[in-house]
Amino acid sequence: MDAKKVSASKITISELMLPSHTNFSGKIHGGYILMLMDQIAFASASKYSATYCVTASVDTVDFLNPIEVGELVTLKASVNYVGNSSMIVGIRVISENIQTGTVKHCNSSYFTMVAKDSTGKNVTVPPLVLSNMDEVRRFCNAAKLIAQKKEHDQHVETFDYSSPEALEGLKQYRIKLEL
């Protein structure tokens, strides 16, 4: 299987935010932005792998700045890391007030996508070619994210929540235990 450059996965979409996209406070609904992020993650991963892809996980979605009605939202995505059948797609969301030209970074996130065949089985994706230090940085950050997830999963599997030490540690929180 021939390796592909990160540029083979790059996607940019822009959309004008409408009143129908707002939440009860009049800002653009976070769920709508998540939907756009999932769409661009799918497009980026599918473009790179040349196959159908599904979302396996979404890592750390921080809403940094609110988005207003009338702003132009631009999402940029690229594959930052590949495994055997999985890809980590980095996504950056910015909004622009098209009257003033003010640009805000609103969100960055990582979506793990998995390539599938027509029967739903995982398929191997091409190796990734890193062409510059920015791509190397993004790859290393994604590899670090994977290592942290594995460490977290191992901790969750082995941690005894019912031990006297664990229960004693809960006293620092604003809770009342009634066991």
pLDDT (tens digit per residue) in 73-124: 999 999 999 999 999 999 999 999 999 999 999 999 999 999 999 999 999 9
Q: What percent of the chain has pLDDT over 70?
A: 100
Enumerate domains of the chain plus CATH numbers.
Answer: 4-130 (3.10.129.10)
**The pLDDT of residue 129 is above 80:** yes
Cα-based distances in Å from 87 to 44, 94, 162, 175: 10, 23, 37, 40
3-class secondary structure for 128-149?
Answer: EECCCHHHHHHHHHHHHHHHHH
Q: What is the pTM of this model?
A: 0.88
Average pLDDT value for residue range 151-163: 81
